[in-house]
Structures are given as C-alpha cells and as structure tokens.
Amino acid sequence: MLLLGLAACGSSRQAGPATGALAPHRGELGEPISCVPYARARSGISLAGDAWQWWDAAAGRYDRGRAPRPGSVLVINRTARMPSGHVAVVSRVVNSREVTVDHANWASGAARGRIATDQRVVDVSPRNDWSLVRVWYPRINDLGTTAFPARGFVHSQMAMAGR
C-alpha cells in the first residue's frame, strides 16, 4: 500500500500527515493533492514537472543548496519505489540534521493525497550534506525505515530573505 501512495506523490497531477495525526481536510487546496502543486502553492516557487525534476529546473532561476532554510523546498530524487520523486516545504530547521516539513501525499490509504504539516525529516547522510534522508511516516508514528536520496534544497525568495 505504501508503494501506491508514494508512487503518485511527486507528479503535477492530482493525487500527507502530521507528526502522528492527519491535518484537517483542506478543501480550499483541492485535496486530494500531490506534493508538486502543494509545494508550489506553499513556497511560491514556480516550477513545473515531476518532483525529481525540480532540482535541475531551478538552476539559474532559484538559489539551490545543501543547507535547509524555512520556506525552502527539499527535493527527494526518484527511486524505483517512488518514480516521480517528492518535494516538501521546510517549515522549521530544528538543527543541522533535522527539519520539519509541510507536504502532501506522503501517506497511503485514507491519508493518500492529504496535507501533512510539521513532519520530521532527518538527514542520515554520512557527510551531513542532506543527500540521504528519512521521513516521518504517520502509519507507524515514527520515521520510516527507508533512506531516500535527496538532491538538496531549492530556496524561495522568502527563504533567501531569511538568511
């Protein structure tokens, strides 16, 4: 079931959960919603394509980097289990290896297509460079066991102003 939920999370097509509880249904945002249109609306970053394409699409248009900032978009690369990738908006930097994010369509089942806020994401990369992350998975009320390859952070104008 997780595979189905993650497979649709990164596309611009229509298709998230709190640190243990679902966010209320948000009809004004058109739930169900996939991660791409949610991240675009929430961050103000105007990019198109599947989530994994955001990193290259941002080149020359937005600042990109390995350090998270509130308002930035974390770009998770595509994998065999998640062919569209995933994007999530950083809501808070907890420390150098942990952030909280707001994102959509991370969960499966009844939570598929839902928005989730203040979800933990932990950098588990050997070099502390955010190239490998684990993401909160509401179904188990903990970080998931899969480490996902991440490209880095695309910084919105709002995130750049907060430097």
Structure tokens of 146?
A: 């899969």
For the chain, what is the mean pLDDT?
83
Q: Is the pLDDT of residue 45 over 50?
A: yes
pLDDT tens string 81-110: 999 999 999 999 999 999 999 999 998 777
Average the pLDDT over 67-94 and give the result: 97
Average the pLDDT over 115-124 and give the result: 96
pTM of the model: 0.82
Q: Is the pLDDT of residue 22 over 50?
A: no
77 CB-near residues (< 8 Å, 6+ apart): 52, 55, 85, 148, 149, 150, 151
Report whether the peptide linkage leading into residue 32 is cis, meaning its omega lies within 30 degrees of zero. yes
Q: How many CB atoms lie within 10 A of CB 140?
A: 9
In sequence order, which ranges of 16-86 are alpha helices (DSSP H)? 35-43, 54-58
Q: What is the CATH number assigned to the segment(s) 2-161?
A: 3.90.1720.10
The pLDDT assigned to 31 comes to 73
Q: Does 163 or 14 have the greater pLDDT score?
A: 163
Continuous segment of H or E residues that includes residue 3: helix 2-7
Average the pLDDT over 131-156 and give the result: 94
Q: How buried is residue 109: exposed, middle or buried, by Cβ count under 10 Å (0-12/13-18/19+)?
A: exposed
Average the pLDDT over 125-144 and give the result: 93
C-alpha separations of 71 from 9, 20, 162 in Å: 19, 22, 9
